[in-house]
Amino acid sequence: MKVYIRSAVCISPQNTFGNESFLSEVVEYQGTRLRVIEPDYKAFVDPKSLRRMSHIIKMGVAAAVVCLKNGDVEIPGAIITGTAYGCLEDTVTFLTRVIEQDEEMLPPTAFIQSTHNTVGAQIALILKCHAYNNTFVHKGISFESALLDAMMLLKENESDNILVGGTDEMTDTSFTILSRLGLYKRFPCSNLNLYATKTRGTMGGEGAAFFLLSDKTSEKNLAELTAIRTIYKPASLEDIQKKVILFLAENDLKMDDIDVVITGKSGDTAHDSIYEQLNLSLFNNVNLANYKHLCGEYPTSSAFALWLGANIIKKETIPGAVIERNTKKVTPRKILVYNHYQKIYHSLMLLSAI
């Protein structure tokens, strides 16, 4: 059985939503934070419901609704989301009120919408969809866990047309705290210059990307999602190499069969050393692409990478803005997405042309 990506929709700091140009014009940001380009949500979500929705819910619901529409599916067979931080805006609102108002006279709305499953729940509610509904909240592999769930559901023949997405929002509060924790660069930077500064820290980002997965063939299908693997705290660079080779071998592939590797390079020298070393060894003869200068770093950014990879295969072109090395002159038919979050959570996603 094969798993296909029927449609893929991404709301990000770039013009990725409802735009046919496929990253031909890249938006530049100065600073250390990339914010999503907000669509006109009213066109996709009932304005009455929209008023109550926080940023992450709006992004998630809009991406999900359009993803279904593009895939010609009204009601999905399952709704699965991944989010590391969940509904931060509502969480911080409620927590701040608890403290400032000494636990008195608190309105319930922010609490109600603070639970991590709110995006998945709101999608189900809008669609009146009673199907399987799950939410994964595991740091840098929240989206990958959701994707694995979706692929297993298809293999188990439990359902078809599975809607799966990764969402995280950056709020002023989380940006302040994560900056204090040292995640971001200590000086303003241009995202277009992210990899050249050779300093510690990255730029913070956010986004929502949803995918419709099916085991049925269709002209609409963008790519085959061949396999996925997560690796927790690998022992060494050799360990990573061994696991990548094993992952490919399990899918009857060698590194030479891969046309493009999309890596999760973030501009943080401490984290990028892994990619730099792999690019000179295991990934030596393959085309390389990066994406975090477009969407920023966040725990579910691999969903952006999957959107990028699926579109590269469908459109048979690699946007200039993502290319790091393009020596192998081939139509991209096999893509490996390799990302690690804080060196702790590593993930591999394999995409194939149909």
Partner 1 sequence: MSSSVYVAGVGVISAIGNNVAEHLLAFEQEEAGMGDITLLDTIYRKKLPVAEVKLDNKQLAAITGLPDDMSRTALLSLVAAREALTDAAIPHFDTLRTGFVSANTVGGMDRSEHFFIDFVDNNSKGKLKNVYNHECGSMTEIVADRLGITDFITTISTACSSSANAIFYAARLIKNDVLDIVIAGGADALTKFTLNGFNTLMILDPAFCKPFDENRAGLNLGEGAGYLVLVSERVAKKMKKKLYGKLSGYNNSNDAYHQTASSPDGTGSYLAMKGALEKSGLKPADIDYINLHGTGTPNNDGAEGAAIKRLFAPDYPPMSSTKSFTGHTLGASGGIEAVFSVLAIEHGLIYPNLRFKTPMNGLQLVPEKRFLKDQNISHVISNSFGFGGNCTSLIFSKI
* Contacting residues toward partner 1, per CB under 8 A: 79, 84-86, 91, 94-96, 98-100, 102-104, 106-108, 111-118, 120-122, 124-125, 127-139, 141-142, 145, 148-149, 152, 155-156, 176-177, 180-181, 230, 232-233, 344
Shorter beta-carbon distance to partner 1: residue 3 or 294: 3
Q: At closest approach, how far in Å is the CB of 138 from partner 1?
A: 4
Q: At closest approach, how far in Å is the CB of 140 from partner 1?
A: 8
DSSP H helices in the chain: 47-50, 55-70, 88-100, 109-112, 118-127, 142-155, 172-180, 237-250, 269-280, 292-295, 302-315
Shorter beta-carbon distance to partner 1: residue 63 or 231: 231
Give the span between the Cα atoms of 163 and 209, in whole angstroms: 11
The CB-based long-range contact list for 128-132 (8 Å cut-off, 24+ gap) reads 128/75, 129/75, 129/76, 129/79, 131/75, 131/76, 131/77, 131/78, 131/79, 131/159, 132/77, 132/78, 132/79, 132/80, 132/158, 132/159
* Whether 303 contacts 165, CB under 8 Å: yes
* Whether 213 contacts 3, CB under 8 Å: yes
Shorter beta-carbon distance to partner 1: residue 109 or 217: 109
66: helix, coil or strand? helix
Q: At closest approach, how far in Å is the CB of 285 from partner 1?
A: 30
Q: At closest approach, how far in Å is the CB of 89 from partner 1?
A: 14
Q: Give the pair of three-digit tokens for residue 97.
A: 């009120």
Q: At closest approach, how far in Å is the CB of 187 from partner 1?
A: 18
Binning the chain into helix, strand and coil, the percentages to the nearest 5 are 35, 25, 40
Shorter beta-carbon distance to partner 1: residue 314 or 346: 346
Shorter beta-carbon distance to partner 1: residue 196 or 344: 344
Q: Please tell me what DSSP assigns to residue 27.
A: P
Closest CA to 304 of 134, 59, 77: 59
Shorter beta-carbon distance to partner 1: residue 311 or 347: 347
Q: At closest approach, how far in Å is the CB of 128 from partner 1?
A: 5
Shorter beta-carbon distance to partner 1: residue 125 or 196: 125
Give the span between the Cα atoms of 183 and 178, in whole angstroms: 6
Q: At closest approach, how far in Å is the CB of 158 from partner 1?
A: 9
